[in-house]
Amino acid sequence: MRRARHQHDQLHGRRRYPARRDRRHPRRKPDRGRRARSSPRGPPAVRRVRPPLRRHPRGGVVKISPIYCPDPSCRWSAHGIPDEFVEARDWHLAAHRADVHGVQPTPEQVAYATRAGHVIPGTAKTTDDAVAVLGALPVPGGDQPPLDEQRLAEIDARAAHLYEYVPLPPEADQLAGEDVPALLAEIQHLRHQQSLDDAEYEQATAELATAKARITELEKAAVEARVALGSLCYDLEDPGTAALGALHLLTQATVWTETGPDFAADALAQHDAKVLHETAQAMEVAGHDDDAVNLLYLLADGATPKAAANQTNPAPKEAS
């Protein structure tokens, strides 16, 4: 069986990379373009950088053109400031020219830089530098010529810029040094007052907890006193009056409680059971019906009325 050429090369460990042919003609090599060949017209022209475009948040496109130095020998350029900010672009170029080429900015540019908070190259930033600059300025009088309007505008611009960097006078430092101890004393006083307030709050909280515990003890003592009075009512001669008095006192004892069923409610249940038991005994001695007597005994033992009625009168069984 005849193998293909690439299978034969793989079998014998050979690698062949045939020349790439153009699709248009099987025998023609691909055209690599004009860049690969030397151009008879000399070196290519300098490519112009197209300004980048950026989408504006309010719609449209933000145009950002590069900033070039007008000096032919300078290769400085800046990017990133949109074209709509004309003053900012102008000051960026003016700051470069003042810093590198020594060209002083115009009063309008200095005014914009002062308003925008930019640092003006060549201006003083400390008090000593300001004194040196002011000392170097010509003073009218004697054999010196008077200052013209442009020089006065420059001095005013520099003075407005230096005003931001002049430190506080010694008098202000002295006043601040005298006020600091008073402020520290006031802070210490406020801290002490706050600690006293915290201590008073903790003391009030403890007193409130003690008062609540005392109220609970008094309520418990009042309930116990009413229960005791209710038990003394049973010694009265009239059983009905004794039962009603004990019931009233025990009911008042349950009203005084705040936490649901407790010993007062238990005492009230015991009172009901005792009254029912004594009533059942009296009815039994008087010869009343046995079903009624048994019903009272069952109620006194804690059975519900329905259960007691079912035990007293059971339902008849249906005939099968």
Q: How many residues does the chain have?
A: 320
pLDDT at 320: 46
pLDDT tens-digit readout, 117-129:
787 776 655 555 5
Report whether pLDDT(260) > 80. no
| Domain assignments of the chain as residue spans, ordered by start | 58-122, 123-139+147-167, 171-312
Copy the structure tokens of residue 61: 């496109």
pLDDT at 203: 86
Distances 160 to 110, 115, 149, 152 between C-alpha atoms, Å: 10, 10, 16, 12
pTM: 0.26
Angle at 198 (CA atoms; ends 194, 202), nearest 5 degrees = 170
Q: What are the b/e assignments for 201-213, b being 16+ CB within 10 Å?
A: eeeeeeeeeeeee
pLDDT tens-digit readout, 146-160:
667 787 777 777 766
